[in-house]
Amino acid sequence: MLRYILRRIFLMIFVVLGVSFVVFFVINLAPGDVLSKIAPEDATLEEVEALRVELGLDRPIMFRYLDYMKGFVKGDLGKSYITGDDVFKTYMAKLPATLKLAFASIFVSILISIPLGIMAAKNRGSWKDNVSMVAALLGLSMPNFWLGLLLILLFSLKLGWFPTGGAIGFKSLILPAITVGTGLAALLTRTVRSSMLEVIRQDYLRTARAKGVKEKIVINKHAFKNALIPTITIAGTQLTRVLGGAVITETIFAWPGVGRLILDAVYSRDVTMITGCIILKSITISIILLIVDLLYAAVDPRIRAQFAKGGK
């Protein structure tokens, strides 16, 4: 077990190193650097160059990367070129908003997909099945910014139910959560449906039916309970996807999360901020995945046995 955890942590370090390297160099590929955002408008070309030297940005990228990694090894992710703020602190300040949005979106998608999935499974092949699946796919089929704008037009402007954005209070969470959540609902509905279908035909349900248990109870109690595990698994993997920050949704709803932080940093070529955020993001996700796996192991002895063998 311990070996397994150590192995995972080792892999995480490898990924973090790789990510930092790739991000650092990828940003360098893109034309434009942070100077275009911090040099004053009335600067002369010489002044810009002087500033570049002052910030050490004139040095070859390999040296800059090594410098960065020196700090990183000591646990220092550096400071933003733009705001001068500590990258770690800034990321941590934005993380709660992203977490909130991520969990709310998963919640919304579960709310949509469980009834739809059950309905589809119960009426397999009928029009109800088709309608449910199309409904589940709708959110996934619309570009997020369009869906977000439409939601704002309807719920903020016409009906006045929810604010257009900002992370103030519970109400402001609803529209962004719907925007992201509907996009996730498709996969989840599909999972609910197929795992329900699998379970429905299994022997013990046949027995339950034979014993005269009502179909509704069979479905709701027995089948659904067993379909829950794959559903939760999928929801869990989706969570890690949303955790990276929903860039577009966060922009539309002025949601102060990690996604927009990274986006603005990309626009201003704030290398330390981008690299730091993405490193922290992958660490966050790795840790969550590890915790999820460990939880599984705690619940399921079969998986625990696998860990003991050092498998994956």
Partner 1 sequence: MSNFIKRKRLFLIICSMTIMVLMSGCGSKEAETSQGDAQSSSTGTTSEAAAPTENTKYKEEVVINTGAQVTTLDVQEVSNVAHNRVFKLTHDTLVDLDIDTGKIVPKLAKEWEWLSPTELQLKLRNDVFFHNGEELKASDVVFTFKRAENGKASTGRVSNFVDVVAVDDFTVKITLNKPFVDLLDNMTIPVYSILSEKALIDDPNMGYTVGTGVWKLNEFVSNDYVSFDRFDKYWGELTPTQKLKVKYVPESSVSVISLENGEADLCTDLTSSDAVFVEKNKDLSLVEIDGTTCQFFGFNASKAPWDNKLLRQAVAHAIVKEDIITATENGYGKLATTFWGNSQFGYYDGFGDYEYDLDEAKRLLAEAGYPNGLDLEITVPTGYRVTTAELLQAQLSQIGINVTINEVDSAALTSITNDGTHESFVYGLGFNTAGDDIRRAYSPKSTTNRSHYANDRVIELIDLAVAEFDTDKRLADYKEIQEIAHDEIPVIPLYYQTLFFGTNKNLGGVTWNSTSNTDFSGIYVIEK
Partner 2 sequence: MDNHRSKHKSIRTEKETSRQHRNELWYRFKKNKGAMLGLFIIVFLVLVALSADFLLDYKTDVIGQNLKERLQSPSLTHLFGTDELGRDLFFRVIYGARFSISIGVISVSIGLITGTFFGAIAGYFGGYIEEVIMRITDIMSAIPSILLAIAIVTALGASTLNLMIAVGVASIPEFVRITRASVLMVRNQEFIEAARALGVKEWKIIISHVLPNALAPIIVQTTLTTGSSIISASGLSFLGLGVPAPAPEWGSLLSAGRKFIRGYAYLTLFPGMAIMFTVLAFNLMGDGLRDVLDPKLKQ
Residue ranges that bind partner 1, judged by CB under 8 A: 30-48, 51, 82-85, 90, 93-94, 149, 152-153, 156-157, 160, 163-167, 251-254, 256, 260-261, 264, 267-269
Q: How far apart are CB 17 and partner 2 at their closest, in Å?
A: 9
* Residue 268, contacted partner among partner 1, partner 2, none, CB below 5-8 A by kind: partner 1
Contact 304, 297 (CB under 8 A): yes
* Residue 278, contacted partner among partner 1, partner 2, none, CB below 5-8 A by kind: partner 2
CA-closest candidate to residue 90, choices 264, 285, 287, 289 = 264
* Residue 47, contacted partner among partner 2, partner 1, none, CB below 5-8 A by kind: partner 1
* Residue 260, contacted partner among partner 2, partner 1, none, CB below 5-8 A by kind: partner 1
CA 304-309-312 angle, 5° bins: 75
Query: What letter represents residue 23's amino acid?
Result: V
Residues facing residue 86 across a β-bridge = 79
Q: How far apart are CB 197 and partner 2 at their closest, in Å?
A: 6
- Chain centroid to Cα 144, Å, comes to 14
CA-closest candidate to residue 118, choices 184, 192, 183, 182 = 192
CA distances from 126 to 132, 220, 227 (A): 10, 19, 21
- Could you say whether residue 153 binds partner 2 (CB under 8 A)? yes
Q: How far apart are CB 51 and partner 1 at their closest, in Å?
A: 7
Question: Binding residue for partner 2 (CB under 8 A) from 102, 112, 177, 186?
Answer: 186
Q: Which of residues 5-24 bind partner 2 (CB under 8 A)?
A: 11, 14-15, 18-19, 22-23
Contact 77, 70 (CB under 8 A): no
Q: Is 32 exposed, middle or buried (0-12, 13-18, 19+ CB in 10 A)?
A: exposed
Residues that bind partner 2 (CB under 8 A): 11, 14-15, 18-19, 22-23, 26-27, 29-32, 125, 127, 130, 133-134, 137-138, 140-146, 149, 153, 186, 190, 194, 197-198, 244-245, 247-248, 251, 259, 262-263, 266, 274, 278, 281-282, 285
